[in-house]
Amino acid sequence: MKRVIVIGGGFAGAYCARHLEKDFSVTLIDNKDYFEFTPGVLRTIVDPAHIRKIQVVHSHYLHRAEIVIGEVTEVSKKDVTVHGKKHPFDYLIICSGSSYSAPFKEKNIISSTRAIELRAVHRQVEKAQNILIIGGGLVGVELAGELCTYYPDKHITIAHAMEELIERNPKRARDYARAFLSSHGVHMVFNEMVSKAKGNKFITNKGTKIAADLAFMCTGIVPNFSFLEKHLKNVLNKRNQIMVNEHLQVNGYENIFSAGDVNDRAVEKTAQNAERQARVAVDNIFALEYNKPLETYIDKKTPLVISLGKHTGIFVWNNFVLTGFIPGIMKTVIEKEKMFRYRF
Ligand SMILES: Cc1cc2nc3c(=O)[nH]c(=O)nc-3n(C[C@H](O)[C@H](O)[C@H](O)COP(=O)(O)OP(=O)(O)OC[C@H]3O[C@@H](n4cnc5c(N)ncnc54)[C@H](O)[C@@H]3O)c2cc1C
């Protein structure tokens, strides 16, 4: 059997390992021992028991694949190094995703430690009176939604460098998010970047002082690429994303693919797009094996659900926007459906 190595057990990597393990000798390498439904992490900040609903250990949903828990430190065109040991491959799929500030994404951790850490964050939230969210993109807005609906008495501020919240979305969605948060007492500071912190004071580049006993950084993703620097630096673009062709093959390598947040496809970096790309990478490995034409990955806008607490949300698909209760519960339904597929 040909050997396939999958780096990363997030949305893209978990999909690839599951769909290849029957036909190939698959090794999934991840620096955590579990798959986590990242969109559900924001709820755990206000409800730490929610963690049980959004995690599943890799060994539960993978039945044949070998699972290696550890950090990939080097990748060459022939093998992958973990804990100093080289793992040779016939095919490699790089799904190392992206990093986000703690506690939203964590590396080198096991599921039980993750639960303890999230409970500690929850205790800090319970104690804090003034909470600052730095960044008003999708994550910042959803976090504000969770916090202001669970804790109506806390003072929550979003500081955003842009003119509007979730600025890449249609106007109706932007206006709804702003009006919802405003009506729940969230204070918003626009066109300013937090540049300094002195004790409990955060100071923006325009000199505004924001008092906060707890701050969350929601300022965007950084690709996980460092293991490529030694042998395959030439596949990285200026933003350290992996350059791939239309079949999701890493530039210059027929047998190396990349899917998800870590590659340079110009799409919104979402779980849904990570899985769409993973499906194409999997199909193309089969296509190479059976001498069939390769599938082309087409970038397209996929539907997005933005939750504002447990019962309200925004559904966006191109210019169509639906707001209120139905999109609010959509996220919970998506989470349950996804976790059901991984558990059973
Ligand atoms: C707080 C938050 C909320 C979000 N909400 C939504 C949402 O509502 N809807 C949506 O569609 N998307 C959402 N996203 C985005 C979504 O989570 C990502 O697009 C998705 O996780 C990307 O999947 P991935 O498989 O490419 O990478 P990741 O999920 O980042 O997985 C990468 C995996 O690789 C591992 N890894 C990295 N480097 C190494 C290494 N050197 N060695 C071994 N393992 C390694 C990581 O530990 C991780 O397990 C959200 C993201 C965040 C942070």
CATH number at residue 171: 3.50.50.60
- Residue with tokens 């600052």, as numbered in its chain: 132
Say if residue 247 is in the same domain as residue 312.
no
Say if residue 212 is in the same domain as residue 225.
no
d(CA 317, CA 174) in angstroms, rounded, equals 13
Q: Report the candidate in 173, 176, 150, 202 with the shortest Cα–Cα distance to residue 304.
A: 173
Ligand 1 midpoint to CA 203 (Å) = 30
Average pLDDT over residues 189-198: 96
Q: Whose CA is nearest to atom 15 of ligand 1?
A: 270
Q: Strand 91-94 vs strand 98-99: parallel, antiparallel, or unpaired?
A: unpaired
Ligand 1 midpoint to CA 217 (Å) = 16
Average pLDDT over residues 166-190: 98
Say if residue 197 is in the same domain as residue 249.
no
SS3 content of the chain, % helix, strand, coil (to 5): 35, 30, 40
Asked whether the predicted pLDDT for residue 171 surpasses 90, the reply is yes
Say if residue 252 is in the same domain as residue 148.
no
C-beta separation of 194 from 212 below 8 A: no
State which ligand 1 atom lies nearest to the alpha carbon of 260.
Answer: 26
Residues forming beta bridges with residue 223, ordered by sequence position: 98
Is 272 within a domain? yes
Give residue 344's pLDDT.
81
Average pLDDT over residues 81-95: 98
Q: Strand 256-258 vs strand 91-94: parallel, antiparallel, or unpaired?
A: parallel
Provide the 3-class DSSP secondary structure of residue 59.
helix
Question: What would you report as the CA-atom Rg of the chain, rounded to the nearest whole angstrom?
Answer: 21
Is 237 within a domain? yes
Is 295 within a domain? no
Q: For 252-261, what is each residue's pLDDT tens digit?
A: 999 999 999 9
Q: How confident is the model at residue 20 (pLDDT cuts 50, 70, 90)?
A: very high
Q: For 25-45, what is each residue's pLDDT tens digit?
A: 999 999 999 999 999 999 999
Is 298 within a domain? no
Say if residue 229 is in the same domain as residue 92.
yes
d(CA 281, CA 248) in angstroms, rounded, equals 6
Please list, in sequence order, all residues whose beta carbon lies within 8 angstroms of the beta carbon of residue 167, skipping any fewer than 6 positions away. Answer: 137, 174
Provide the 3-class DSSP secondary structure of residue 251.
coil
Give residue 109's pLDDT.
82
d(CA 105, CA 139) in angstroms, rounded, equals 12
Kindly state the helix (H) or strand (E) to which residue 158 belongs, with its residue range.
Answer: strand 155-160
Q: How many structural domains is the chain composed of? A: 2
Ligand 1 midpoint to CA 28 (Å) = 15
Say if residue 213 is in the same domain as residue 264.
no
Please list, in sequence order, all residues whose beta carbon lies within 8 angstroms of the beta carbon of residue 275, skipping any fewer than 6 positions away. Answer: 11, 12, 15
CB distance 18 to ligand 1 below 6 Å = no
Q: Whose CA is nearest to atom 38 of ligand 1?
A: 96
- In the chain, what percentage of residues exceed pLDDT 90? 96
Average pLDDT over residues 298-311: 94
Average pLDDT over residues 293-313: 96
Give residue 106's pLDDT.
87
d(CA 59, CA 244) in angstroms, rounded, equals 30
Give residue 61's pLDDT.
97
Phi and psi angles of residue 200, each rounded to the nearest 5 degrees, phi first: -95, 15
Domain of residue 92, residue span: 3-108+221-289
- Measured between its terminal Cα atoms, the distance across the chain in Å is 26
State which ligand 1 atom lies nearest to the alpha carbon of 15.
Answer: 25
Question: Residues 175, 179, 185, CA angle at the centre, nearest 5°?
Answer: 150
> The dihedral of CA 305, 215, 30, 237: what is its sign?
positive
Say if residue 239 is in the same domain as residue 282.
yes
Say if residue 48 is in the same domain as residue 125.
no
CB distance 335 to ligand 1 below 6 Å = no
Is 30 within a domain? yes
Say if residue 129 is in the same domain as residue 251.
no
Say if residue 206 is in the same domain as residue 310.
yes
Is 297 within a domain? no
d(CA 136, CA 142) in angstroms, rounded, equals 9
Kindly state the helix (H) or strand (E) to which residue 51 belongs, with its residue range.
Answer: helix 51-54
Average pLDDT over residues 2-19: 98
State which ligand 1 atom lies nearest to the alpha carbon of 108.
Answer: 47
Ligand 1 midpoint to CA 11 (Å) = 7
Average pLDDT over residues 327-336: 94
Asked whether the predicted pLDDT for residue 343 surpasses 90, the reply is no
Say if residue 231 is in the same domain as residue 215.
no
Q: Whose CA is nearest to atom 7 of ligand 1?
A: 39
Q: Report the candidate in 301, 307, 297, 298 with the shortest Cα–Cα distance to residue 331.
A: 307
Say if residue 115 is in the same domain as residue 146.
yes
C-beta separation of 134 from 80 below 8 A: no
Q: Among the three residues 246, 262, 289, which one is the final residue of a domain in this structure?
A: 289
Please list, in sequence order, all residues whose beta carbon lies within 8 angstroms of the beta carbon of residue 268, skipping any fewer than 6 positions away. Answer: 168, 301, 302, 304
Q: What is the mean pLDDT of the chain?
A: 96
